[in-house]
Amino acid sequence: MTTREILERAKAASALLSTLTTEQKNAALLAMADALVADTVPILSANAADMAAAKETISAVMLDRLALTEARIAAMAEGIRQVAALPDPVGRQLDKTVRADGLTICKVSVPVGVVGIIYESRPNVTSDAAALAVKSGNVCVLRGGKEAWRSANAIVISLRRGLEQTGLPADMINLIEDTTRQSATELMKADAYVDMLIPRGGAGLIRACVENATVPCIQTGTGICHIYVDKAADLDMALDIVDNAKMSRPSVCNACEVCLVHRDIAADFLPRLQARLCDPARPHTAELRLDTAAATIIDGTPAGETDFDTEFLDYILAIRVVADVEEAIAHIAAHSTHHSEAIVTADPAAAARFTAAVDSAAVYVNASTRFTDGGEFGLGCEMGISTQKLHARGPMGLAELTTYKYIITGEGHTR
Amino acid sequence: MTTREILERAKAASALLSTLTTEQKNAALLAMADALVADTVPILSANAADMAAAKETISAVMLDRLALTEARIAAMAEGIRQVAALPDPVGRQLDKTVRADGLTICKVSVPVGVVGIIYESRPNVTSDAAALAVKSGNVCVLRGGKEAWRSANAIVISLRRGLEQTGLPADMINLIEDTTRQSATELMKADAYVDMLIPRGGAGLIRACVENATVPCIQTGTGICHIYVDKAADLDMALDIVDNAKMSRPSVCNACEVCLVHRDIAADFLPRLQARLCDPARPHTAELRLDTAAATIIDGTPAGETDFDTEFLDYILAIRVVADVEEAIAHIAAHSTHHSEAIVTADPAAAARFTAAVDSAAVYVNASTRFTDGGEFGLGCEMGISTQKLHARGPMGLAELTTYKYIITGEGHTR
């Protein structure tokens, strides 16, 4: 099918969804999970074909992301069952006003409609996104990466069978067949069919969406996250937090890329940070990229022009010495991607100033930036991390896949 | 100043605003109102110059919208004082989770940042938008119509003096000096400076924003609003509602443009509707544009191809006879701008089906679409009516000018 035909089917399916009950959606989700497990063999076979075709062209890390196993398929099914167990985000009464003249104004949550998702190679994104869409009453149009297309297609075939078995339209879940750049552009401009676009991927994809999309678009993911170690910090705590935020999983968007250190404690803290992160006994050691002031205290790579504006996604940490919390706030304002930033301090005034002034989705006091995650925030699941300010900010769960409408009931009221 | 310089000042001012107190903002608003009244003479003089220059080029209706009087300036000042009296939308705790490990996650409302507003010739939009921005802690960048620029500039000079008198930065309120299309395009693409763009104007402006904006953009206003008169309608009530929705103020976006009538009651209802709306004793009578079925019952203009897709903003009503509520819903899905639609019926099942299936910002049962308005909905004020689905839907008040951030407090928590 052409991308246009898929979009037309998606839009048509969306008109049918407004009155789905929670029971119908949950039954469909459980059937989708069962279908995925039942289809383990064909899904693994499609994945093997993807892996064979991609072996020459993508890195070992990407190949690992692409790889499916029986256990990974079981985990995807379990993820769908967990979404089924979450509360229904649709049909909640968000507000209610009864006017003096008796006119009743109710604000209720409703599905967004058709949600487009552009993503890359991890096959579990296919089932996660589809499950979140079904639970929130939305139709999804998935446009995955070329390397993972056979896997995504096999997964979508199973999920659609699960929908049909429980009487819901299979067209709630749609996979675009064309994996060229053309289909991504077509999806970005399909405002006649798509209500919300969620690009999940690198900075290039996000920027392409911002530049080209006529569909309202959620910017996700890019995280140049900062940790500011204040002069009033507990330095042991600061070491633990920076270590966790930088080293526990550097490839994710909530990992720390930049450490700002108050000048009064820099001579104490930086040698300890270096000893900790660069300890040769660790499985991985960090490369430190230092501004001039930090370089007078410890050894490391001199920071280049772009090092304070780069999402390294690697065992690399840029370090700058700052005069005070205000200079830290100003640095973050100039360089942050508005994802997650932290202050480590025992001074409540510094913490209050930092949390008030830093304009990011998640602002931490004495905790690691690694907590910015739908599961950790108690949302139960996640469609991505929004780094923009409209509609949704930070982790996007089911509620962020809804909008609202006003239902107004009168008895012949005129104005 | 160039548009770029104004945007740079706006962005710089926005960094100062995160810790404004409610008292500071309210004091500034009251000073702004006083400054406006104190400057009545220079504002009227600037307005007279606008009127003289525009007399040849714009219609009488537009000239009336542009005209200021001492009373209109006093009303603008009173509007600002009313905004001062509203609750502060910033700093509200929207949600709070304390995890089992003690990590505390607070979701709090914060200003959006820099809000761009593109509008046309009514000078009161200048003071309304500025007041809403100040109350919500946002910086506004106003880009008004060429015909009203002198008036808007005089108003902005007064408002900025009010800010300065109370110690707030004058750059919270900015008027772009260039009134060519170039500055509107520059504002649409200024995503490095502007967090949200609100175009207020006709369909052409809205479409230009959707096509060109890289700044997240709220679609406002265009209203092709429908009233469906069900077979179970109280026909007297239906007459009152259609009369009010069509005739009370046809130039506004919540006026009704299309009436859908159930075929079982069309022969009763349509002659009465015609008698009511076309009564020559009225100050204005309606022109009816009829589909083929309606034309077999009453006289009127045959509906042309575009009559069911036109925001007439005039004493014109398109009428179509439909088979049932499902056909009404399908017609609305195909032709509505998702603003406001109404059903008139005494049948609760038809009402429930209509409110569930119609995908518009405001869906009415037995009431006029004319109520879709921030003031009528109890928001106290309004920045426009959103007809899109992300961030805000329907009337946008102060809350819709905020976003949120998560503030997470730990005691050295790592993941």
Query: All domains of chain B, ordered by start, with CATH?
Result: 3-218+396-409 (3.40.605.10), 225-371 (3.40.309.10)
DSSP string for B123-146: HHHHHHHHHHHHHTT-EEEEE--G
Name the residue among A367, A156, A369, A104 with its Cα closest to residue A245.
Answer: A369
Chain A residues with beta carbon closer than 8 angstroms to that of B393: 403-406
Does the beta-carbon distance from B371 to A18 stay under 8 Å?
Answer: no
A382: contact with B, CB 8 A cutoff = no
Q: What angle in degrees, to the nearest 10, is found between the helix axes of A70-85 and A22-38?
A: 170
Token pair, residue B155, equals 């108003």
Chain A residues 111-150 with a CB less than 8 Å from chain B: 112-113
- Does B367 lie at the interface with A, CB-CB under 8 angstroms? yes
Do residue A18 and residue B241 have CB atoms under 8 angstroms apart? no
B32 to chain A nearest CA, in Å? Answer: 26
DSSP letters spanning A135-194 = HTT-EEEEE--GGGHHHHHHHHHHHHHHHHHTTS-GGGEEE-S--SHHHHHHHHT-TTT-
Please give the helix or strand (H or E) that residue B271 lies within, else none.
helix B263-277
pLDDT along chain B (415 residues), means of 10: 96 87 97 98 97 88 89 95 96 96 97 94 90 97 94 98 97 96 94 94 86 91 93 98 97 95 98 98 96 97 96 95 98 95 98 96 98 90 90 94 96 96
Contacts of A71 (CB under 8 A, 6+ apart): none
pLDDT score for A352? 96
Count Cα neighbours of A277 within 13 Å in the Cβ-side half-sphere.
Answer: 33
Assigned token pair, A35 = 């279908």
For B186, the token pair is: 């520059």
**What's the gap in Å between the CA of A126 and the closest CA on chain B?**
23
Type of residue numbered B366: N
Cβ neighbours of A362 in B, within 8 Å:
405-406, 408
- Angle between the N-to-C axes of helices A123-135 and A22-38, in degrees from 0 to 180, rounded to the nearest 10: 160
Q: Is B19 on the interface with A (CB under 8 A)?
A: yes
Tell me the CA distances in angstroms from B355 to A52, A322, B91, B341, one per residue in order: 51, 57, 34, 9
What 3-state class would DSSP assign to A403?
strand
List Cβ neighbours of B392 (8 Å cut-off, separation of 6 or more): B218, B386, B400
CA distance B281 to B295: 24
B410/A366 touch (CB, cutoff 8 Å), yes or no: yes
Location of structure tokens 């604000």: A107
| Model confidence at A221: pLDDT above 80 | no
A355 CB burial (10 A radius; 0-12, 13-18, 19+): buried
pTM for the whole structure = 0.93
Distance from CA of A297 to the nearest CA of B (A): 25
Percent of all residues in chain A with a pLDDT value above 90, rounded to a whole number: 88
Q: How confident is the model at residue A378 (pLDDT cuts 50, 70, 90)?
A: confident
Distance CA B278, CA B155 (A): 42
Spatial distance between the Cα atoms of B389 and B392, rounded to a whole number of angstroms? 7
What's residue A382's pLDDT? 86
Note whether A408 contacts B357, CB cutoff 8 Å.
Answer: no
pLDDT for res A193? 96
Token output for A346: 């025992």
Q: Does B100 touch chain A (CB under 8 A)?
A: no
List C-alpha distances in Å: A324 to B61, B404, B405. Answer: 58, 26, 23
Backbone angles phi, psi at A41, to 5 degrees: -65, -55
Give the number of A-B residue pairs with CB atoms closer than 8 Å. 202
Name the residue with tokens 């009402």. Answer: B351
A375 three-class SS: coil
Between positions 236 and 255 of A, the ones with CB within 8 A of B are 237, 240-241, 243-245, 248
- Residues in chain B with CB shorter than 8 Å from the CB of A210 are 191, 214
Length of chain B, in residues: 415
- Asked if A140 and A119 count as a contact pair (C-beta separation under 8 A), the reply is no
Please name which of A119, A213, A188, A172 lies closest in space to residue A6, comparing C-alpha atoms. Answer: A172
How close A404 gets to chain B, by Cα (Å)? 7
pLDDT of residue B15: 86
Q: Provide the token pair at A69.
A: 């196993």
Cβ of residue B105 closer than 8 Å to a chain A Cβ: yes
Average the pLDDT over each of A109-113, A169-173, A179-183, A410-414 and give the range with the smallest value.
A179-183
Provide, as residue numbers in chain A, all residues whose Cβ is less than 8 Å from the Cβ of B191.
210
Answer whether B366's CB lies under 8 Å from B354's CB: no
Tokens standing for B121? 């010739």
On whether the CB atoms of residues B127 and B139 are closer than 8 A, the answer is no
Question: In the structure, what pLDDT confidence band is assigned to residue A18 with cuts at 50, 70 and 90?
Answer: confident
- What tokens does A257 get? 């890329």
Which strands make up the sheet holding B173-175, listed edge to edge? B173-175, B139-143, B114-118, B196-199
Of B368, B370, B410, the CB nearest to A367: B410
Interface pTM, i.e. ipTM = 0.94
Q: Which residues of B touch A364 (CB under 8 A)?
A: 407-410
User: In 3D, which of A356, A359, A330, A354 has the Cα closest to residue A342?
Assistant: A354
Report DSSP state, residue B217. B
Give the three-state DSSP class for B253: coil
Q: Give Cβ neighbours of residue A250 (< 8 Å, ≥ 6 apart).
A: A312, A313, A314, A315, A316
Alpha-carbon distance of A391 to B391, in angstroms, equals 4
Please identify among residues 189-228 of chain B the ones whose CB lies closer than 8 Å to any CB of chain A: 191, 195-196, 210-211, 214, 216-218
Report how far residue A219's alpha carbon sits from residue A207's, in angstroms, rounded to the nearest whole number.
9
- Do A367 and B412 count as a contact with CB atoms less than 8 A apart? yes
Q: How far apart are CA B392 and CA B383, in angstroms?
A: 11
Which chain A residues contact residue B404 at CB under 8 A? 393
Closest residue by Cα to residue B346 from B233, B229, B228, B263: B233
Contact A387, A222 (CB under 8 A): yes
Contact A333 B378 (CB under 8 A): no
DSSP-assigned letters across all residues of A241-268:
HHHHHHHS-TTSTTSEEEEEEEHHHHHH
Does A391 lie at the interface with B, CB-CB under 8 angstroms?
yes
Search chain B and give the residue with CA nearest A348. Answer: B409
Amino acid code (one letter) for A389 = K
State the amino acid at position B16 in one-letter form.
Answer: L
Q: What is the predicted pLDDT for the residue at A49?
A: 97
**Residue A153 near residue A407 (C-beta atoms within 8 A):** no
Chain A CB within 8 Å of residue B95 CB: no
Chain B contact set for A377 (CB, 8 A): 97, 105, 406
| Start-to-end C-alpha separation, chain B | 50
What is the average pLDDT score of chain A?
95
